[in-house]
Structure 1
Amino acid sequence: MPTYTLATPVHSDIEIRKSRFIGLALPVPDRDAAMAVLQDLRARHPSATHVCWALLAGGQSGMSDDGEPSGTAGRPILEVLRHHDLDGVLAAVVRYYGGVKLGAGGLVRAYTDAIAAALKDAERVERIAFATLTVDIDYADEPRVRRWLESLAGEGYALIDSHYDAQARLVIRLPATLREGAMATLRDATHGRARFPDSATPDDR
């Protein structure tokens, strides 16, 4: 099942029983980047009562109620992200308390609504795992391999490094799911002369 991230940051600003809820969701590469965004958000809203958040980023996911009753803020925000099949996304809600208590159910709805409103018209982009593929080829085969690479540039293939010794060594970045097929194609194109000295480690775009 594909997962998605956001093309751009999105915002909302809603008022519920005199409390103001400012929603923000944006793409982030990892937890460190998310924490930096939250630090900046707190700096820009020093008088806010709460800054609650949820992060979906693979093994670095997390959430915080930031002083709200347990389970009334971070978890609802996280569930909205999951509902949208998002990953690599931080969602946060800044609350300015307006003097009227909302109760646990009211808080869950408020935090859910703040992020849902921000994501209502958000543009999602599919999140693709990438890998690197190192290939050693004869110099005579290099022009053919480079043309093949150029023809697939629109599909996420890219030459990221090259070395020249007894053979030409090209380091290619490509969608991880297409790596095995690329190896087979390169073997065929070079009549079996292509060699693959390294294994690839997937990373996220």
Structure 2
Amino acid sequence: MKVVRQMLERYYTIKENGQSELEIKKSRFICSLKRVETEEEAKQFIQETKKEHWKANHNCSAFVIGEKNEIQRSSDDGEPSGTAGVPMLEVIKKNELINVAAVVTRYFGGIKLGAGGLIRAYAHSVSHALQEIGIVEGTLQQELSIHLAYPQLGKIENFLELQQVNVKEILYTDKVIVVCMVNEKEITAFQESIIELLSGQVNFTEGAVSYYEQLVQPKD
């Protein structure tokens, strides 16, 4: 994942770009989410959404940029101060997401919500979108190829399934090569476990270090 430049051990972000819609007291709330790498990209996304929904009453926004959310911005876009952008931002931060921009578009339905109602509506729009689109945890992993004899395959497959190790592929040559992804900090202990399991009849080849993303539950 390009957005993480200093190889964090793990991060959380949205699974993919997308949007969801809610109707709250006859107002339409459309939340659009996007992965972004820079503040400029986030601002461009906000402007594009405003252009798309130019007839809407409000296009409120919030985004976080950086490994530790060094850049945080929010906008109420005409809603009463503190009732839209900040609640949206708080949902993003509560879920510990990095490099995410959110825009909640509101088409007013004629019923005023009041300050408390607006805060709940904008926060719920973002949390609902996160439920719909999904959150992933990216974990820094080492590609590891396990070279073994064919009779050992069943034993290693059972072990990897029990340990919930991500198997990338299995190659069948004169030997079997099981290519899996292992958390980088656990690589030594993992290899030692395999050596013990197969009584030393195994060889390893280490590949690239990359991020493996897995769905996790959003925080309510």
TM range (shorter): 0.5 to 0.7
1:194 — aligned with what?
203
CA RMSD of aligned residues (A): 5.0
Query: Aligned AA for 1:93?
Result: V
The separation in 1 between residues aligned to 2:66 and 2:172, in whole angstroms, is 34
Residue deviations 1:89-144 (CA, integer Å, cap 9, x gap): 65431134689999xx93x8625532325636947977443423223524x2x552
Query: CA 1:99–1:128 in structure 2 vs 1: closer, same or farther (change >3 Å)?
Result: closer
Unpaired runs of at least 5, structure 2: 1-10, 215-220
2:36 — aligned with what?
31
TM-score (structure 2 length as normaliser): 0.55
The separation in 2 between residues aligned to 1:70 and 1:78, in whole angstroms, is 14
Q: CA deviation at 1:50?
A: 3.4
The separation in 1 between residues aligned to 2:184 and 2:61, in whole angstroms, is 31
Structure 2 residue 74 is the aligned partner of structure 1 residue 59: no
**How many residues are matched?**
191
Question: SS of 1:134's equivalent?
Answer: strand
**Residue 5 of structure 1 contacts residue 126 of structure 1 at CA under 8 Å; is this kept in 2?**
yes
The separation in 1 between residues aligned to 2:143 and 2:62, in whole angstroms, is 34
2:7 — aligned with what?
none
Q: CA deviation at 1:147?
A: 4.8
Structure 2 residue 86 is the aligned partner of structure 1 residue 75: yes
One of 12, 15, 18 as aligned partner of 2:22: 12
Query: CA 1:98–1:114 in structure 2 vs 1: closer, same or farther (change >3 Å)?
Result: same
The separation in 2 between residues aligned to 1:201 and 1:152, in whole angstroms, is 19
Query: Aligned AA for 1:134?
Result: L
2:97 — aligned with what?
87
Structure 2 residue 188 is the aligned partner of structure 1 residue 183: no
Query: Aligned AA for 1:148?
Result: I
**Residue 157 of structure 1 contacts residue 174 of structure 1 at CA under 8 Å; is this kept in 2?**
yes
Q: CA deviation at 1:38?
A: 5.5
Identity of aligned residues (%): 20
The separation in 2 between residues aligned to 1:46 and 1:73, in whole angstroms, is 18
The separation in 2 between residues aligned to 1:110 and 1:163, in whole angstroms, is 59
The separation in 1 between residues aligned to 2:87 and 2:161, in whole angstroms, is 40
Structure 2 residue 40 is the aligned partner of structure 1 residue 22: no
Question: SS of 2:55's equivalent?
Answer: coil
Bigger proportion of residues as strand: 2
The separation in 2 between residues aligned to 1:189 and 1:116, in whole angstroms, is 49
TM-score (structure 1 length as normaliser): 0.57
Query: CA 1:58–1:93 in structure 2 vs 1: closer, same or farther (change >3 Å)?
Result: same
Unpaired runs of at least 5, structure 1: none
Q: CA deviation at 1:174?
A: 4.6
The separation in 2 between residues aligned to 1:57 and 1:160, in whole angstroms, is 34
Question: SS of 2:67's equivalent?
Answer: helix
